[in-house]
Structure 1
């Protein structure tokens, strides 16, 4: 899908607009909250369900299904009406939340998190698309800014709420909290949200088969990379079968995408070296972000014996650095048009910061940890901003929406791989380390090769001058859907 250029009927009164904006804010809050609230609760969940080593899959399964459903549900909203698909997404998300909270073992929790992610994938993208439908063009940036503030508050509140629920109530409340908020949003959306009828959908196709196949491919790759050499020998029938399925589904996916009328990740995008590098950088940046976000609280609770709430406080500087760097980089790029040196600088800053985290032990003070995490957030923020921008700029203007969706797909994959792969590294290191702190040293050190790769990619990536349309995107004057 390309950028919307039509101008549908708008809600005139400010009061009516606020009534619509409230449920959108509520939905955006719980969907963004779910990305970080789990971070500080993972140790509690792992201990309660007797599987601490498998706990990172709680985050992984959600990210995997979210990556695909974001693209599919966005297109379904175009075809069948965003209000209907938005309501279905909320209900699926809430159903997954209830089932997660009631789960009695880790396997069911991981599966239900995947179900929750299917609904969650439609929430963020559809909220922004709905704003494009109901807000007058001149006021759209104001409402998008308000939603941006809500999303930021949710990301920062997540670690704190996760810690409070884990310490004082139960980790199950990190899922149950979604129920009253989501239910209120469903009611208001049903009663007060009125959207234009979708255009003729006879010529639209949704690449469901591509979505299913890429989900199988990414899941099997994650399984054989995390199980191989740890839970199963590399030459065991299970690992060999997973590798074979990965190879077959990759080939099938490439064939499907080459033939699909509206591919979930059009292969023509990957003819650009700039786009390819941007996608890989997005994946690497998000991978390291989730390593810091998930394994820092685990380190603090395991090595320094802090409470879940106290451990959650340390994630906030990481997120503040991320948001600040993204905002500053975006403003500077819109003024100068240059973005070449942000990724190399981000790689160096993030690499040095994660090396600092690898030196932490039971006696490391709060200031040292906070500084390392804050600067790690700054480095990752430079990556996130430029990877998205340069990738969008490398695509044709008509492919801007689908390019954004593809880049966000790689972002979600990065988070999934970061959660699962480094969980395996931690489990293996725990079995060989003299003390728990040494195992976490290994985890944080293993981010450095990925940052070296990101540095090299940033140095070889050529800077393509920003198009006039991309300058407007950076300035917030053009809305780009995520599919």
Structure 2
């Protein structure tokens, strides 16, 4: 059996630089658009398609993640990572050249496919070149990329849109040079052994898994916005997702090289880390999406300044991720970190729920730092635990599967928390307007605009709106607490398997004959 090459610390850092640069540019591309969307819609039109510019990327990123892992088993990690980078670069250029909303949405959908590959395969490649015992010292850097992109995206988008000689199209162009550099770095420094693989592609499994995930993502993305939750579209998409899921299970049981091998769901570590990732994704993305609304609407901060207010979260996430990773490498003990981390995330969300209109910036900074601390301790450790508990042939499928469930949780969280906020906001404004005998100018219901327009509403309507948003967001963050605790319970039941000290080469995905032959040589 081919032995995995042992990489030096210097070589690993070189590979990491390419992986992190690719991940950073792709994740920034998903967050940079939020700031520029009003300007984009103003130029291209299509206000009714506004939400699709962001939703298209999340949808395709989520549904494509499981496919990338298996395809990398067949065609190789390096090639597939570069294909994902190529898709991302091409889609970014097309997005910048878009002449209407349809072209932009299509380009963003292709961008999402590339982002799904980059986010999943970066973790798989790290698993290929670093042993589980040593992986902790590097995984913290990967986790920090997420936090940095969360801040850098809105800041960069605000700067580009506000700079006359650039314009919104550079929100897409600006990431291209960095992606090209990442491509070159990976080409030069990533040298994985060539291994014979079974090239059979599970077409039926890929089709049914993608169809089930797509129907579910469409339901979560469009429900409550494009159609009512209690509507024929809801039942149609829900039924489609369920039927395709049943067919996917049958297809995967029959496939010779399944996309998501059924044996994974008999692996306790995979099931529990996936469940925990699902709940963490719900809570994390819910907080990430709706925290800027508090900062921009309630506190009246600009998009750039609201991004700066999340810096304490990024710093604590980075520091806790790096330090916990080094401790894991030194001691081999990892379970304490996600256990403590998820408890801290729950505390952070409770603290965020206590924020109000007059909360100081110091208090906000402390609360988001607590949230970042918990995320830094838990996010990468779940991936590490899943990889360590998987068989060599299942490394890519395991990593992609856990990433898929985290992204799916994010979609569920954004949809569920969005519905909670909208309903609470409506009830609170209606109740306070009636209680204070305030009539809306012009009659009818109160129509809310952008954060800047809300700040210019006449008193006492402005005060009522800000208080209603505060109470609505309080509910959103409070709901995140039990959701996070469900993830905590899943982690508690994880068995702390010893971290292996030697890296295993999961890329093999060997055929049954190869496995048998390898077993006979041991």
- Note the alpha carbon deviations across 1:399-455, whole angstroms, 9 max, x for none: 344322221221222233333443343344443332233333333233123123224
Evaluate the alpha carbon distance shift between residue 260 and residue 249 of structure 1 in structure 2; reply closer, same or farther with a 3 A threshold. Answer: same
Partner of 1:175: 172
Counterpart contact for 2:345–2:375, Cα < 8 Å? yes
- Note the alpha carbon deviations across 1:285-331, whole angstroms, 9 max, x for none: 12222222222223222222211110111222222222333333333
Evaluate the alpha carbon distance shift between residue 367 and residue 412 of structure 1 in structure 2; reply closer, same or farther with a 3 A threshold. Answer: same
Counterpart contact for 2:278–2:406, Cα < 8 Å? yes
Evaluate the alpha carbon distance shift between residue 450 and residue 39 of structure 1 in structure 2; reply closer, same or farther with a 3 A threshold. Answer: farther
Aligned match of 1:89 in 84, 87, 90?
Answer: 84
Q: Which aligned pairs between 1:15-414 and structure 2 lie closer than 5 A? A: 26-38=21-33, 58-80=53-75, 84-103=79-98, 109-124=104-119, 126=121, 148=142, 151=145, 157-168=152-163, 170-183=167-180, 198-201=194-197, 203-225=198-220, 227-228=222-223, 231-414=226-409
Aligned match of 1:450 in 483, 493, 497?
Answer: 483
Evaluate the alpha carbon distance shift between residue 423 and residue 105 of structure 1 in structure 2; reply closer, same or farther with a 3 A threshold. Answer: farther
- Note the alpha carbon deviations across 1:194-221, whole angstroms, 9 max, x for none: 96784434x2333344334323322322
Q: Distance in 2 between matches of 1:149 and 1:226?
A: 26
- Note the alpha carbon deviations across 1:19-63, whole angstroms, 9 max, x for none: x98766653441243354346556766787788997665454324
Larger radius of gyration: 2
Q: Distance in 2 between matches of 1:412 and 1:366?
A: 30
Evaluate the alpha carbon distance shift between residue 212 and residue 110 of structure 1 in structure 2; reply closer, same or farther with a 3 A threshold. Answer: farther
Q: Distance in 2 between matches of 1:318 and 1:129?
A: 26
Aligned match of 1:5 in 3, 14, 26?
Answer: 3
Evaluate the alpha carbon distance shift between residue 87 and residue 295 of structure 1 in structure 2; reply closer, same or farther with a 3 A threshold. Answer: same
- Aligned-partner SS, 1:302: helix
User: Cα distance, 1:141 vs. partner?
Assistant: 8.2
User: Cα distance, 1:178 vs. partner?
Assistant: 1.9
RMSD of aligned residue pairs (Cα, Å):
4.3
User: Cα distance, 1:125 vs. partner?
Assistant: 5.2
Evaluate the alpha carbon distance shift between residue 107 and residue 210 of structure 1 in structure 2; reply closer, same or farther with a 3 A threshold. Answer: farther
Q: Distance in 1 between matches of 2:138 and 2:98?
A: 36
User: Cα distance, 1:237 vs. partner?
Assistant: 2.1
Structure 2 residues not aligned, in runs of 5+: 430-464, 510-522
Q: Distance in 2 between matches of 1:51 and 1:69?
A: 27
Q: 373-382 or 173-182, which moves further after superposition?
A: 173-182
TM-score with structure 2 setting the length: 0.73
- Aligned-partner SS, 1:263: coil
Counterpart contact for 2:277–2:406, Cα < 8 Å? yes
Counterpart contact for 2:59–2:217, Cα < 8 Å? no
Counterpart contact for 2:35–2:158, Cα < 8 Å? yes
Q: Distance in 2 between matches of 1:482 and 1:424?
A: 44
Q: Distance in 2 between matches of 1:132 and 1:334?
A: 14
User: Cα distance, 1:118 vs. partner?
Assistant: 1.3
- Note the alpha carbon deviations across 1:373-398, whole angstroms, 9 max, x for none: 11111222333244223333443455
Structure 1 residues not aligned, in runs of 5+: none
TM-score with structure 1 setting the length: 0.78
Evaluate the alpha carbon distance shift between residue 397 and residue 346 of structure 1 in structure 2; reply closer, same or farther with a 3 A threshold. Answer: same
Counterpart contact for 1:358–1:444, Cα < 8 Å? yes
